Structure 1
Amino acid sequence: DKNVTRADLSNLQFAARFRPDHDPDVFLGFDYENLDTVFIRDVPPIEAAAGHASLIDSRFVITTDRGHVTAAQGGRIDISGTSFMIPDVNIDRGPAGARLKTDSTITAALSLLDEGPFGFMTKANLPVTLADGRAQMSGQLDFLLKNDLSPDEVAFSVNGRLSDLRSETLVPGRVLAASGLDLHGDNAGISVSGEGRIGGVPVEGQWRTALGEESDGTGRVTGSVELSERFADEFRIGLPPGSLSGAGRANIEITLPPGEPGRFEMRSDLSGVGLSVPQLSWALGTQATGDLQVAGTLGEPPKIDSITLDAAGLEARGAVTLNDDGTLSRAVFSRVRLGTWLDAPVELQGRGAGRAPQVLVSGGMVDLRQTSLAGDGSGGGGANREGGPVSLALDRLIISDGIVLRDFRADLDMSGGASGSFTGQVNGGPQVTGRVAPKDGRSAFQIRSQDAGAVLAAAGMLRQARDGEMNLVLVPVSGAGRYEGSLEVKNVRLTDAPALAALLNTVSVVGLLDQLSGEGIHFSEVTSRFLLTPRRVTLMSGSAVGASMGVSMEGYYDLESTMMDMQGVVSPFYLVNSAGGLFTRRGEGLVGMTYTMRGPVAQPSVSVNPLSVFTPGMFRNLFRRPPPGGGGSDGLAPERQRQQRGGGEAGQ
């Protein structure tokens, strides 16, 4: 009377069996067509249904061969194959159930689940227009045949297949698309799982939201996502072009509170992923692994609250801020460690789409024995991308064992390799200024000072040097931390120099000894060519000349142990003695004595060959060992060796 609006019945069958002292056994069966009926109050009715119904021993079952329900949104829901059952019609307000089988749009299916006593989507704070596509579902509904049915009195379990799905709601701000996903729903929650794409990025996982009184409608996505350059482009995380190569997987979890941007956490072992940070001359190959963790908030643009990277010797921890167009605004890393050569806070400041960011390093340490300031310029191994500007404010720039520039400040242009100016304090003492320029993928340095003596003393070369103007050039050669250098010093004065005192004492130049212990010996010019490695200075040629004396020197100095092994010629009264300099090396007069100096710098052992004083300068090499550069770790390049063997200024 209340629920059936119309129906055409056919093939009616009725049977009854009566036995004494027993309720009658009744059977009723019929086919039907054009059935319009309400099946649950406050839910759209079944329309144009056809099928069969039966009543056997108080159990009523009706099945549909065809029929539909018109949902409030999304169109018709085909219910062919659905059945409805009352286990016992004699029980007032008793239980009933439906075995569902539906085919519809996803919107229509969700709209039906949000009707009347269900209200599942409303409780989840989700729209019924969650996704476009088709839904084929089967499941079970159990409820009581009573008025004012509450949601708690409806139990449901449904499984389905969603095909050709497209959603802009499941992951806010992103289009989720899939050819097929599995759906499961029950009173505890709704979940969708399978493989699909977010934008152009392949993903695999599950979206789930809880149902019930305690649910606040928060959804969660768990699974994995492809980590590649198209991931960086889709999620607009501000990486410069080319930073990512290859493809790997990252585990991801996204929490989606209703009405708020989603929060995400991602982690990857970076297998199959290539990473590159040209500004640090660092790269991770696709065959290597590491640990990458990123956490932040989805949105336009997304916000990256924390990023942690530990791979290929690089450790970095920081946060990233993006501009509205998804380009990098700032990336602030509280600490970046790369091998043993970099340990400092680093900040990257974006300069627009497609441009390398500006790098700011404030504090910390860089060790040039193991790297270069050249970054990834055009000479740096084939990467031709434009480099960004770099500003350094380091606590320490380590050049070699025992030589450190403290309070190092530099502003560099990396567009073609590192070039720019810098200042620093040698071992925390005198200040030097200079310039850096790209050279064969590394950095060459020119260092100047108006107090050469203080610089040489602070570097541990000449402890009691004073005054003078210095020009030092360091050019990188093959091998980490190796430089070929030239030094020019004008008008320097030496006082209380143990090595020089020992030499003068050996050759018995009394007046010069007094001068050394007094105002000092003045040298108008000091020049040298040397090879600097992380642990040793190989002096290939050196000279110091003044009115009082001239000295030439070549040999080795160990920076770590401060041990020396030198040889050369000392020429007293050089202003007069240098008259024969046309036939001698720089710093040697026509008359001079060869010497060797070995041992600690503070107290070397000096020996002089007195016979060499009678040897004209052009034949003095007869009393010398071959000059440094004949091979080994501190050897010169072959062409340099040939030039050195030529002797004299022309040979040099």
Structure 2
Amino acid sequence: MAGDIPLLDFATLGAYWPAGAARGARTWVTRNITAGMAHDLHVTAGLASTAGWGAMRLLTLGGGVAGSDLDLHWLRPIPPIRGVDATLTFDGPDALSIAFTHGVQTVDRTGRNVDATGTGRIAVGDGHMRITGLMVKDQMGDISTTLHGNVRDVLALLAEPRLNLLSRHPLSFSHPSGRADLALHLVLPLNAHVRVDELHLDGHADLAQVHLGNVVLGRALEGGRLAIDATTDGLGLRGTGVLGGVPSTLRYDMDFRSDPGIRVRETAQLRAHVTPEVAERAGFAVAQRFSGAADLDVGYDRYADGTGQVRLDLDLDDAALTIPVWSKARGQAARASARIGLADGRLASVEAIHAAGPDLLIDGRANVAGGTARNLILRGFRVGRSRGDATIGVPAGPRDAVRVAIDAPVLDLSPLLAPDPAADHGTDPVPQGRAAAGYHLPVAASGRVHGPPGRSWLIDASVRTLLYAKQAALTGVHAHLEDNGVRLTRMRFAMAGPSPASAILTPESDGRHLWASVQDLGLMLRGLDVTTQFEGGRTVLQGVFDDRQPSAPFAGVLTIDPMTLHKAPGAVRLANDASIYGWMQAPKGPDFLIQRVSLPLTFRDGTLHIHDGVLNNASLGVTLEGPLDLDHGRMDLRGTIVPAFAVNTIPGHMPGVGRLMSPEKGGGLLAATFVVSGAMNAPALKVNPFSIFLPGVLRRLVQ
């Protein structure tokens, strides 16, 4: 028996298809092809009966029908493929084959773990579907198709609950995007409730221009080229991309099986070859600090109980590094590693922090609370000449301070105080003379503001030996320092040697008040290897930083009480002995006693200016004023030498005429003028001895 219908609407096909003829095929077709046009319908059927017309049975069924612009429900409740062109072929009374092409698969993105809402559209290429079991209650479907679309929409389709794939095993990545070409083969019962063991899937996807968020510790993958293979047992991903600015190779596997004996559910590995060029593109200003290459390995495992682990390993053997506190040459072995624990995707622990290399050994861990690292704890670190323990507080937010506590037998700060060998001065020329004679004052101390505020920090340090140069050290150092990201705001400092000394910096309403004291300046200068010519001298510096001004200028007074100058110049001893009192009181030998030094001073923009400074004993005095340009290492000081100081200064204190008798504050009626100028490491001294014959204000005529 045969029949033909040239053209009809698929929605009306049931009216032309007898209910008793090929009942299974009729039911599936009329229920799942709900729109479109049918044409060239041709059906052949073979019937047989051994008991008359009432017992006729369908033995064979052939032919088929072509369709265009169809809505094909291939697996309800997944939305249908719309606008598809298809050819249906009857393969006997129990099977139906559908070849289709040129359709659009819509997909609901909401709740599909792709961080998007709305409806996605996936282009459907050539595909084939075979339905068997049309004569029984439940049919089987064998579906093969190709899909082309956005990675986000393809992953949303694979997360459809009907497929029991990514809906049960969501990927850890976020905000996926890119281009995907997917070949999918699916075999499953076409009923409403499918067990996982009844579903058989085999898919392969090629992805390009991929973005995946939160691949490793919040870092995103950009420009990825990935290949994905998926079955009902698991999913595997291989490819390359740029992770956090670093070109990387990735491998990722997820196990879908429900076997309780399987402990690891997800595993991933990332490998990156880091060069200076790669580091610069990733946003790290390595400049001349890094050459060669480093290899980074990141491993990840997620377990069945929801916990996970990230392993970090950095191979620095082929890298040359120069940072202020440590350096290594290319070819020297060095490695760094850490292990990070996760619980339900949140940070749970940081353990086994380890770094080893030439003059380098660090072991530590972090305290974690509420999914956030609170403190980094390093026990027994060794970096260069430094060794000790440290705790570093990790700020919870951008406005929170970094807190550092150090307890060290030895702490070497000399690399931080010496010129940085890796610093690039190409865009900041060094002024003439500065390299040899400049005395740079740290920004945190000077108060000068450069750019926007940085990270605030707080340091507590207890150091038995603090090395500030190759062969020079302070001992018994205890310090508390606070910086608000712009300047040092609070300080308490004390040390035992070379001489006991202390300093306090306190913020007040009119600025930061500084008080600093050195018990024995001579001992300090000898211990710091500055000079051995001084002995004694209790020194106090006190003043105020005016933080109302951008440069935070300092105004204060430096005072020094009795101090002896050894091997004093002959001219100084001669001037001292010019008075009978000075000759009688002078120390024996080539020494000179200074009873008091008072130097009112200001500091602004790298220049220290002395105002009306006085150095004196009972028989000789010196006045001093002028600038010292610390940034450029130059000075221009002027003053007077006042013999018979105790008597000679009396006219300067007379009411009304004191400034005429002694124009310099603390000066005398008779005094010799001098100038100290030039480079600070080689100043030139010029004394005008004839000025002593011009009393009072007349001295200004020969200056």
TM-score w.r.t. length of structure 2: 0.48
* Distance (Å, rounded) in 1 between the aligned partners of 2:173 and 2:347: 27
User: Which blocks of at least 5 consecutive residues in structure 1 are unaligned?
Assistant: 367-371, 425-430, 436-446, 451-468, 477-483, 491-524, 529-652
Contact 2:104 2:123 in 1 (8 A): yes
**What amino acid is aligned across from residue 473 of structure 1 in structure 2?**
R
| Structure 2 match to 1:377 | 417
2:247 maps to which of 196, 199, 202: 202
* Structure-2 change in CA distance of 1:183 and 1:244 (3 Å): farther
Describe how 1:108-507 pairs up with structure 2 within 5 A.
108-125=153-170, 130-168=175-213, 170=215, 173-213=218-258, 220-225=267-272, 245-246=290-291, 247-254=293-300, 264-278=310-324, 281-296=325-340, 307-319=353-365, 331-338=376-383, 341-347=385-391, 361-365=406-410, 373-379=413-419, 381=421, 383=423, 393-394=462-463, 408-409=476-477, 422-423=495-496, 433=500, 473=526
Contact 1:125 1:217 in 2 (8 A): no
Contact 1:54 1:61 in 2 (8 A): yes
Contact 1:107 1:128 in 2 (8 A): no
Contact 2:288 2:422 in 1 (8 A): no
TM-fit CA distance, 1:312: 2.0
* Structure-2 change in CA distance of 1:92 and 1:330 (3 Å): closer
* Distance (Å, rounded) in 2 between the aligned partners of 1:109 and 1:86: 24
| Structure 2 match to 1:31 | 66
List per-residue Cα deviations over 1:352-405 (Å, max 9, x = no partner): 99xx98975424356xxxxx6523324465659969898764457899xxx999
* Distance (Å, rounded) in 2 between the aligned partners of 1:9 and 1:432: 103
| Structure 2 match to 1:8 | 37
* Structure-2 change in CA distance of 1:79 and 1:344 (3 Å): same
* Distance (Å, rounded) in 2 between the aligned partners of 1:240 and 1:261: 35
Describe how 1:617-628 pairs up with structure 2 within 5 A.
none
* Distance (Å, rounded) in 2 between the aligned partners of 1:8 and 1:382: 75
* Structure-2 change in CA distance of 1:349 and 1:125 (3 Å): closer
User: Which blocks of at least 5 consecutive residues in structure 2 are unaligned?
Assistant: 1-26, 51-56, 110-118, 426-439, 445-457, 482-486, 488-492, 503-517, 537-563, 568-703
Q: State the SS of the aligned residue for 1:42.
A: coil
* Distance (Å, rounded) in 1 between the aligned partners of 2:363 and 2:391: 11
* Distance (Å, rounded) in 1 between the aligned partners of 2:248 and 2:329: 23
List per-residue Cα deviations over 1:206-236 (Å, max 9, x = no partner): 3444435579997554212455789999999
Q: State the SS of the aligned residue for 1:123.
A: coil
Contact 1:110 1:128 in 2 (8 A): no
Describe how 1:30-49 pairs up with structure 2 within 5 A.
30-49=65-84
TM-fit CA distance, 1:111: 2.7
**Greater Cα shift, 101-110 or 297-306:** 297-306
* Distance (Å, rounded) in 2 between the aligned partners of 1:382 and 1:5: 73
* Distance (Å, rounded) in 2 between the aligned partners of 1:244 and 1:257: 40
* Distance (Å, rounded) in 1 between the aligned partners of 2:500 and 2:304: 59
* Structure-2 change in CA distance of 1:287 and 1:421 (3 Å): farther
Contact 1:228 1:244 in 2 (8 A): no
* Structure-2 change in CA distance of 1:83 and 1:201 (3 Å): same
* Distance (Å, rounded) in 2 between the aligned partners of 1:306 and 1:234: 30
Q: State the SS of the aligned residue for 1:376.
A: helix
* Structure-2 change in CA distance of 1:487 and 1:187 (3 Å): farther
* Distance (Å, rounded) in 2 between the aligned partners of 1:27 and 1:217: 51
* Distance (Å, rounded) in 2 between the aligned partners of 1:18 and 1:300: 67
Percent same amino acid at aligned positions?
Answer: 15
Contact 1:471 1:489 in 2 (8 A): no
* Distance (Å, rounded) in 2 between the aligned partners of 1:91 and 1:7: 27
* Structure-2 change in CA distance of 1:70 and 1:390 (3 Å): closer
* Distance (Å, rounded) in 2 between the aligned partners of 1:159 and 1:213: 22
TM-fit CA distance, 1:143: 0.7
| Structure 1 match to 2:101 | 65
Q: State the SS of the aligned residue for 2:125.
A: coil
**Greater Cα shift, 246-255 or 344-353:** 344-353
1:55 maps to which of 63, 86, 90: 90
Q: State the SS of the aligned residue for 1:335.
A: strand
TM-fit CA distance, 1:98: 0.7
Q: State the SS of the aligned residue for 1:375.
A: helix
Contact 2:45 2:58 in 1 (8 A): no
* Distance (Å, rounded) in 2 between the aligned partners of 1:396 and 1:140: 71
Q: State the SS of the aligned residue for 1:51.
A: strand
**What amino acid is aligned across from residue 68 of structure 2 in structure 1?**
E
Q: State the SS of the aligned residue for 2:290.
A: strand
Contact 1:50 1:65 in 2 (8 A): yes
TM-score w.r.t. length of structure 1: 0.52
* Structure-2 change in CA distance of 1:174 and 1:53 (3 Å): same
* Distance (Å, rounded) in 2 between the aligned partners of 1:421 and 1:149: 76
Q: State the SS of the aligned residue for 2:75.
A: coil
Q: State the SS of the aligned residue for 1:93.
A: coil
* Structure-2 change in CA distance of 1:90 and 1:302 (3 Å): closer
TM-fit CA distance, 1:38: 2.0
TM-fit CA distance, 1:85: 1.6
**What amino acid is aligned across from residue 270 of structure 2 in structure 1?**
G
* Structure-2 change in CA distance of 1:256 and 1:199 (3 Å): farther
* Distance (Å, rounded) in 2 between the aligned partners of 1:9 and 1:398: 91
1:85 maps to which of 130, 133, 140: 130
How many residues are paired up?
Answer: 436
Contact 2:499 2:524 in 1 (8 A): no
